[in-house]
A = this chain, B = another copy of it.
Amino acid sequence: MSIVTILGAGAMGSALATPLRANGHVTRLWGTWLDDFRLDALQAGQPHPGTGVPAPEGLEYYRSDELEQSLAGADAVIISVASVGVHEVTRRAAAFLGDKLLMLTSKGFHTSPGGGIGLMPEAVREALGDPGRTLVSIGGPCKANEVAAGRLTASLYASEDADAVAGAAKLLATPDYRVQPSVDEVGLEIAAPLKNVYAIALGFADGLQERTGEPWHNLKSALFAQAVAEMSLLSGAMGGQVATAYGLAGVGDLEVTGLSGRNKVFGSRVGAGATVPQARQAMADAGLTVEGLDACRLSQGLVAQLGLGSEELPLLSAITAVLYGESEPLATLTAALRY
């Protein structure tokens, strides 16, 4: 039995309490200054607002001003705050982390102080002032509400340090929450924000079906295959493995993201005939953040940084042209198909 602290009481952080408690670990859920209403709900025995699932029995709660207490004596820590908060929360926690096993579910592109675009582990390592800090990246097709409810999920855990991955898997893996080990942190981390961008294109094909009353499954499938190929290429260009995109973190996560979620819904609205500004507004009015929008913009900085051109990532470039240019979606996306 270990003591595990989850930093961040959003949907994913809270959900991971389910496998941790199933394995009998002392499980502490620390909420940021934005998480009070979530902790209130869970402590009152109500469902988590993000997952619709109540907390597992025995979960311990820490408020934002109890960060030090939440980490005292903990064996392992899972950073699971919104990507914009990763640097700040890690900085505040730094003095109490020591050499605890560190895991990370937060995903996205990270802008370094120098302006370079990197991946989320860099935000953690920058905040710790320790560029070599081992951490275990958690990814793969994992909707938080399903994990919280104990429905079967297969995750990918990646670190160059195979012992760290094994340690993390030992803490969290259950018959319902499977963990595949990997050494490819970069491949996992790059696929996570990119799949949100490509899911917008998949949603677009769904929206065309709404608009025309006819399925566009062939188009959706061609977009899917090309998205996987481009994620693979970008992983390789970043120094990750090309094969990671063919497994849980690429194919698997794109599948789950294309089935539902805000990025797909946003794309569907555009496919159904809304302009991009109209679709953005509709999502904003509903209080929904479309992660793929920011990820798309930032990905272009990364692509430029890597010296890649639009001819190497034509679909990513086309999605950018639709979202940030004035390009007509159907013509732009179909012109970008490499087939």
Q: Which residues of A contact B (CB under 8 A)?
A: 140-143, 145-147, 149, 151-155, 175, 178-180, 214-222, 224-225, 228-229, 232, 246-248, 251-253, 255-256, 259-260, 334, 337-339
Contact = CB atoms under 8 A, between A and B. Distances in A.
Nearest to A222: B154
A221 to B, nearest CB: 3
A251 B248 contact: no
Given A247-B225, A251-B225, A252-B224, A143 B218 contact: yes
A252 to B, nearest CB: 4
A305 to B, nearest CB: 26
The count of identical subunits is 2
Contacts of A221: 141, 154, 248, 252-253, 255-256, 259
A20 to B, nearest CB: 17
A246 to B, nearest CB: 5
A248 B225 contact: yes
Contact of A218 (B147, B175, B337, B339): B147
Given A152-B337, A228-B246, 5 more contacts: A151-B214, A152-B334, A154-B337, A228-B247, A228-B251
Contacts of A146: 214-219
A153 B218 contact: yes
Contact of A217 (B217, B260, B334, B337): B260
A40 to B, nearest CB: 25
A154 B218 contact: yes
Given A179-B339, A246-B246, A218 B152 contact: yes
Contacts of A232: 246
A251 B221 CA distance: 8
Nearest to A218: B153
Which among A141, A149, A337 has the highest number of chain B CB atoms within 10 Å?
A: A141
Contacts of A215: 143, 145-146, 259-260
A216 B260 CA distance: 11
Closest 3 CB pairs of A and B: A141-B221, A154-B339, A225-B252
Nearest to A256: B221
Nearest to A227: B251
A231 B137 CA distance: 27
Contacts of A141: 217-218, 221-222, 225
Nearest to A208: B151
A216 to B, nearest CB: 6
Contacts of A149: 214
Contacts of A248: 221-222, 225, 339
